């Protein structure tokens, strides 16, 4: 998409000023930059109309303020939800073995990861994994066997690489 004439100069002239204004409001530079950038993105699609306004910068500022307000409301709702739910359960400690397994899982195909996660992480029996994935029990069992073999192979490669690095 080509940028409408005049938008780049408008952006350059008003970006920093608007970020400063939103930063003063929010107290969070990253959030200010995000909402101003989103407001400019929206303005770019409507620039042929907005450029004729008496104060196009006011339009971008209003959109950024609306986005900031929406983000603050969303954050408040999330916080209330977290308070209702209580503290999260203790997460298992991160160990080198867990990191190796996570990386090895990431190198497997999605079908292998699905059956491994549903069976071993979610703790579902094979027949329930089959129902969730809409697969016959025999297919789940064969995928689990292939997935375990592939995971073992990936973990063997990871342990070999770790041994070579020492």
Q: Answer whether 0.85 is exceeded by the pTM.
A: no
d(CA 101, CA 46): 48
Q: Residue 111 is encoded by which pair of tokens? A: 């079908």
SS3 label, residue 92: coil
Please give the domain boundaries of the chain with CATH numbers for all domains.
7-85 (no CATH), 96-165 (1.10.10.10)
Residue 81 pLDDT level (bands cut at 50, 70, 90) = confident
pLDDT in tens, 104-144: 888 999 999 999 999 998 899 999 999 999 999 999 999 99
Q: Lowest mean pLDDT: which of 66-70, 152-156, 158-162? A: 158-162
How many angstroms from the chain centroid is the CA of residue 151? 26
- Using alpha carbons only, give the angle 52, 60, 43 rounded to the nearest 5 degrees: 65
Please report which residue ranges of 2-136 form alpha helices under DSSP H: 7-26, 29-45, 47-50, 56-85, 96-106, 110-116, 126-133
pLDDT in tens, 23-44: 998 889 999 999 999 999 999 9
Residue whose entry in the numeric block shows the structure tokens 């992480």: 121
Measuring CA to CA, which residue among 1, 38, 36 is closest to residue 15?
Answer: 36
d(CA 11, CA 13): 5
CB burial of residue 143 (10 Å; 0-12, 13-18, 19+): buried
- Residue 64 has a CB neighbour count (10 Å cut-off) of 26
Residue 166 pLDDT level (bands cut at 50, 70, 90) = very low
């Amino acid at each position: 998409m080509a940028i409408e004439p005049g938008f780049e100069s408008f952006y350059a002239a008003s970006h920093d000023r608007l970020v400063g204004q939103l930063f003063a409001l929010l107290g969070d530079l990253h959030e200010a930059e995000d909402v101003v950038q989103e407001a400019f993105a929206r303005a770019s699609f409507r620039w042929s109309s907005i450029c004729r306004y008496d104060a196009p910068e006011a339009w971008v500022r209003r959109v950024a303020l609306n986005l900031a307000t929406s983000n603050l409301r969303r954050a408040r709702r999330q916080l209330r939800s977290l308070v209702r739910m209580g503290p999260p359960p203790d997460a298992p400690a991160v160990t080198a073995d867990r990191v190796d397994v996570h990386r090895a899982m990431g190198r497997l195909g999605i079908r292998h990861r699905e059956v491994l996660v549903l069976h071993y992480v979610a703790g579902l029996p094979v027949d329930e994994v089959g129902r969730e994935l809409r697969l016959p029990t025999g297919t789940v069992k064969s995928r689990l066997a292939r997935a375990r073999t592939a995971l073992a192979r990936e973990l063997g490669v990871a342990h070999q690489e770790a041994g070579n690095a020492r």
